[in-house]
Amino acid sequence: MSAPMDGTILHFDNLTLGYDRHPAVHHLDYVIRAGALVAVVGPNGAGKSTLLKGVVGSLAPLEGKIRLAGIKASEIAYLPQQADIDRSFPISVFDMAAMGLWQKSGAFRRFGRDGDRRVGEALDIVGLAGFEKRPIGTLSGGQMQRSLFARLLLQDARLILLDEPFTAIDSATVRDLKRLIRRWHGERRTVIAVLHDLDQVRADFPETLLLAREQVAAGSTETVLTQANLDQARRLTEAFDEEAAVCGR
């Protein structure tokens, strides 16, 4: 990876994101270092998915900024929540994974034998060798998640965003996918994952951003995931007014 060891990759500057002028995340100031492995946690509705959507550019800030440092938008890979993925799309496991190559080379390029080999290798790594021709609609939840991780592998991205990658996934798949995340971390890629299982966060993610529409705490996981901070996040999320307008803070 070409990212400097102590460089930053992503800056949130007084960031407010929302829908129809109603903020879902507001006044966030935080910096992510290149190579960091960061969990984003918080109660339901805390704005975690919204934050990732802002980073991939599918939601423009209402206020403030998201700044990428030293990377291009095309170097970001994004795994949406399972509920947001249309599995009725008639595409094979092979072609789904191969989409990971497009981002670098353009959608209509043919990849030839080298591309086919790389897709095969990625499917092998995620444990889906032999599934190449299966329509994605016939996969189990865990198999589908494995095929999406194969796509991420092929994207070869420097910043990887994962929205609830382990929700409703069997334990063997979780174990295998965690291994891939560790591999990405070892390769100095930056990984940001929205997670609900705090034991998982404590075990595998050194850094945590605790959100409740605003930042409650951020930094080393141990200092962020205290009972006091978690209680505060719950109180703030419960008290949030869904109809609130963007404030002038």
Ligand X SMILES: Nc1ncnc2c1ncn2[C@@H]1O[C@H](COP(=O)(O)OP(=O)(O)OP(=O)(O)O)[C@@H](O)[C@H]1O
Residue 89 engages ligand X in binding (rule: CB under 6 A): no
First to last CA, the chain: 39
In the bound state with ligand X, the residue whose beta carbon lies nearer, of 134 and 196, is 196
φ/ψ of residue 33, rounded to 5: -80, 150
Residue 46 engages ligand X in binding (rule: CB under 6 A): yes
Could you give the maximum distance between any two Cα atoms of the chain, in Å?
A: 56
Q: By rule CB under 6 A, what string of x and - marks binding of each residue 205-224 to ligand X?
A: --------------------
> 3, 15, 36, 42: which one contacts ligand X (CB under 6 A)?
42
**Residue 162 C-alpha from the chain's centroid:** 2
> 9, 32, 35, 49: which one contacts ligand X (CB under 6 A)?
49
Token pair recorded at residue 249: 């803070």
Q: By rule CB under 6 A, what string of x and - marks binding of each residue 120-159 to ligand X?
A: ----------------------------------------
Contact between 60 and 20 under an 8 Å Cβ cutoff? The reply is no
Residue 171 engages ligand X in binding (rule: CB under 6 A): no
Residues 49, 80: Cα–Cα separation, whole Å: 8
Minimum distance, C-beta of residue 55 to ligand X, in the bound complex (Å) = 12
Q: Measuring CA to CA, which residue among 247, 240, 211, 245 is closest to residue 22?
A: 245
Residue 50 engages ligand X in binding (rule: CB under 6 A): yes
Residues that bind ligand X (CB under 6 A): 19, 24, 42, 44-50, 242
